[in-house]
Amino acid sequence: MAHPHDLEAARACVKLCRELGQANALRPFVKREVIPGVGTDADDDFIRDAAVTYWHQCGTARMGVDEMSVVDSDLSVHGVKGLRVADGSILPRVTTGNTQAPCAVIGERPAQMVRNEYRL
């Protein structure tokens, strides 16, 4: 929200969402506007306070064999013995869908590796 265009885009988004929520087609499904509330102005302070990111960070500790990768196929950190990374950061690219399922699989894989290694 540092640039004036950010606030302008956010204001347009809030306006659009409010219009959609008040559309006749949605009346059977909408009880009331909760935030910011009917009659309440969605001013810049509201927008700044309500803004959150829904980004699913991926690739910040990506898996691979090139010089930019952080972990190998066993999720072990290159050059660090005994350390693994098991979250969405190991994905080389953002998935086309929600990252929850891939992250669950990523978490299960090293758990199985540790169980096998220590015969648990």
Q: Would you please indicate which residues are annotated as catalytic (active-site) residues?
A: 56
Burial class (CB in 10 A: 0-12, 13-18, 19+), 15: exposed
- Angle ∠(30,26,44) on CA atoms, nearest 5: 65
Assigned token pair, 111: 């758990």
The Cβ of residue 88 has, within 10 Å, a number of other Cβ atoms equal to 20
